[in-house]
Structure 1
Amino acid sequence: MTAYVSAFELFSIGIGPSSSHTVGPMRAALAFTSRLTAAGLLGAIDRVTCVLYGSLGSTGIGHGTPDAVVAGLQGLSPETCDPTAVHGSWSGLTPGSTLLLGGERAIAFEQGDISFEPRTRLPGHPNAMTLAAWSGTTAEPLVAETYYSIGGGFIRRDGEDSAERPVITYPLPFPTGAALLEICDRDGLRIDEVARRNEESVRSPDEVDRGLDAIWAAMNESVTNGLAASGILPGGLRVKRRAAAVREHLELAEAESGRELPTEWLHSFALAVNEENAAGGRVVTAPTNGAAGIIPAVASYYLRFVPGASADGIRRFLLTATAIGSLFKANASISGAVGGCQAEVGSACAMAAGALCSVLGGTTSQVENAAEIAMEHHLGLTCDPVGGLVQVPCIERNAIASSTAVSAARLALHGDGSHLVSLDAVIETMRQTGVDMSSKYKETSEGGLAVNVIEC
């Protein structure tokens, strides 16, 4: 089995605040509506309902899940929609409201058509939702399907035939980090070159470059937008956006002192992205929305503060991160509802650390070491967002993890690549830790900071 996941799947352009609770449910609702259309049933539907289970039921309102479901039912896609068109899609409904199903069929739809079952955890995944389409006054739905939002915006339909998801056979498959290093040694390739050969087996070199450039452009835009925005984030916690104020302070401090402040800028880049995410803006899952600021922040740090940094270096950066992220997705999880925040921020930190080490000239062994160091120091990290919002501690956590990624990369570069703990070992440890972790620390807001911080 190959662990490789294409960069164009792992890094998907979407909207905030959550890949698993916003992007995934929107895709599921869109897929459900598309299946109704393909089956010729859209015209017969009079009502649609949705039940959100487990983590989606626990923190769905704070994560904008109901709004995302309604947007998906209306035919909107997270990749192309106007984020403002999603906000309030459900929360703004009033008695007698209607919904344009699939952008074509007008049906009655009220807030009560989406229900929440936080105490019910389906066996397929903690992030589960069942969509049902009704015709007339029948006692049973015409169609009912359950979807799982499995992290990073990826979804899986319960009972789907494997033929529905054709498997791409990549020329350089690697099930483990050790296998990836063996390929690099055997063929004399860097990790990003292994990833590129896999990408170019299904796309032309120009298409790969254009796609990577588009991913980076979206990441960079989220940094730029976040550094310019101020105000209060939505959701009731009254969290103030800080990135713009930090930017202004840094610009003044650098002008007065005549010296650069790279670490502080690194923090500001991450704050900017995650504030954009918390506001429901356009971001790139990297590999999730909750951890979306780390890779753009470290890449921005590389471009701004590393001599010789280039657009080609950014492509190498993203491809290296893709190969590392693929290992986490295949052998553990990138879902906070499965593994806690170690699966999100920890994975992103490892991806960024390995990617930075690579563009700084690290060997494949040093790159693997950098990723391992970064993940090792996130083991056991819980996901307990206050108020079910991707704000506290998520925004600051991305800034701190960005610093950890840079530190891990530079620490690895000081060594020769040899180390006691392998990346495979730390990924397996993360998986086991996630299994052992109490469910109240897995994006349910039922433990940790979520119950010890007074919301005011």
Structure 2
Amino acid sequence: MYVSAFDLFSIGIGPSSSHTVGPMRASLDFVKRLRETGDLAQVRRIGCTLYGSLGATGLGHGTPDAVVAGLTGLEPTTCEPAQVRGVWDAAAGAGSLALDGRHSVHFEHDDVALEPRTRLQHPNALTLAAWGDSAVPLVEHTYFSVGGGFIQRDGDDDDEATTEVPLPYRNAAELLELCDERGLDIAQVARLNEESLRASDEVDARLDELWQVMHDCISAGLETEGTLPGPLKVARRASPLRTRLQNTESENGRSLPGEWLLAYALAVNEENASGGRVVTAPTNGAAGIIPAVGRYYLTFIDGANAEGMREFLLTATAIGTLFKANASISGAVGGCQAEVGSACAMAAGALCAVLGGTPQQVENAAEIAMEHHLGLTCDPVAGLVQVPCIERNAIASSTAVTAARLSLNGDGTHVVSLDAVIETMRQTGLDMSTKYKETSEGGLAVNVIEC
């Protein structure tokens, strides 16, 4: 299989790909089906039930707002983040909701219900229902938000990521074999797959657009001061850190790449925590790692350029496909190892590639990065993508750079394969207690007092 770069990396809004972007897309799909079947005009009331992790941490992740925004026709890729914030309360206060932006239906606050103790086939599940004049729903569909903003409707065969391409691969061993047989590097395999789906110029333009949004997100975070939304009152640190770095460098005339790397990651995840515009990479909770390492490459590596950034993103895509196909990129399924661990591996492999690494060294870099995230839990305090998520992205960015440089100091030979570590991550996620998988029922979430 292969997951396109433009599915794995999607432009959206914070704070969560699985709890914000995915439910928003599910609502959009539900309304689209109502419109296409001709049932939209008959709807008098709409309702949504959030199950499992969506119910447990949905309030902190803004899930009800995302659901309501999607029902009104807002798209995560194109909407202004401010349009989504508070839309649940606003619709309930008005007593009505403009379904699909044009059909008014009755709406109350509890038309979005939270059922954290009820778990369906996937921990991120929601059911959307529409009623007419009868007590029996006109239409009802259940969706699973399977990570990274991807959704799957109950009863469908597979999620939206499946793509037919000329150079598919099921695991890292097959990917390396393709590279060896065809005389290609990993980014070239990904490019040939992308170019089977769209023109080469479009591939470049869309990769450039993704990087521009990532770059702009870093810049916005570096400039914005204040406190993040929510009860924790977490102070933004990226902007003060930028100021300190600029002052220090001005005084001693020496750049500090490692500290800037941390600032870049903090900037993205502070923007994400504020519900701002981010690129899901491959999730929102881990959205700071790939942009931070990418900006580090462009800023501090001699010879870095736009073509190198395309190679960076394509290599990350090829590696991300392996995690999505063979394990998970959802914190509610595999813990934070599935989010931050996957993103760290993608960034490490991508950086190794643009620094001249062979496919074997790239695979080794990704393996090193993932191996040292095994068992990482997802236990956000207050259900917010803030503590420990923001710092975790900064630390993982540093790990990615270290993993890339460590692999470049070898010849690609190593004991643990990337396939072995991905399978270990999958098994570890299955064994991990649900209280450590984005439910706010264990770990830091219950040991840190919310102030």
Q: Same fold (TM over 0.5)?
A: yes
- Aligned equivalent of 2:252, options 257, 262, 274: 257
CA drift at 1:161: 5.5
- The share of aligned pairs that are identical, in percent, is 69
Give 2:386's match in structure 1, choosing from 384, 391, 400: 391
- 1:13-412, aligned counterparts within 5 Å? 13-123=11-121, 125-136=122-133, 138-160=134-156, 168-412=163-407
Alpha-carbon distance between aligned partners in 2 of 1:217 and 1:245, rounded to the nearest angstrom:
23
Q: Does structure 2 retain, via aligned residues, the 8 Å contact 1:96–1:108?
A: no
Gaps of 5+ in 2: none
- Provide the rounded CA distance (Å) in 2 between the counterparts of 1:293 and 1:167: 25
Change (3 A) 1:229 1:199: same
Residue type of the alignment partner of 1:29: S
Instruction: Answer yes or no: is the 8 Å Cα contact 1:273–1:293 preserved in 2.
Output: yes
Q: Distance in 1 between matches of 2:166 and 2:156?
A: 27
Q: Distance in 2 between matches of 1:418 and 1:167?
A: 31
CA deviation map 1:73-115 (0-9, x unaligned)? 0000000001000000113444452110001101121211000
C-alpha change, 1:94 and 1:37, in structure 2 (3 Å) is closer
**Alpha-carbon contact 1:152-1:288 (below 8 Å) kept:** yes
Of 438, 441, 446, the residue aligned with 1:446 is 441
Give the whole-Å Cα distance in 2 for the aligned partners of 1:391 and 1:11. Answer: 21
The structural deviation recorded for 1:167 is 5.0
Question: Take 1:167 and 1:400, find their aligned partners in 2: how far apart are those partners?
Answer: 32
CA distance in 2, matches of 1:299, 1:393: 22
Using the alignment, how far apart are the partners of 1:165 and 1:213 within structure 2?
Answer: 23
Aligned residue-pair number: 451
- Where 2:179 maps in the other structure, the secondary structure is helix
Query: Normalising by structure 2, what TM-score?
Result: 0.99
TM-score for both structures, normalised by structure 1: 0.98
Contact in 1 for aligned 2:91/2:97 (Cα 8 Å): no
CA RMSD of aligned residues (A): 1.1
Q: What is the CA–CA distance in structure 1 between the aligned matches of 2:228 and 2:37, rounded to whole Å?
A: 41
CA contact (8 A) 2:7 2:161 kept: no
> Is the 8 Å Cα contact of residues 178 and 184 (structure 2) preserved in structure 1?
yes
* Structure 1 Cα separation of the partners of residues 41 and 80 of structure 2: 26
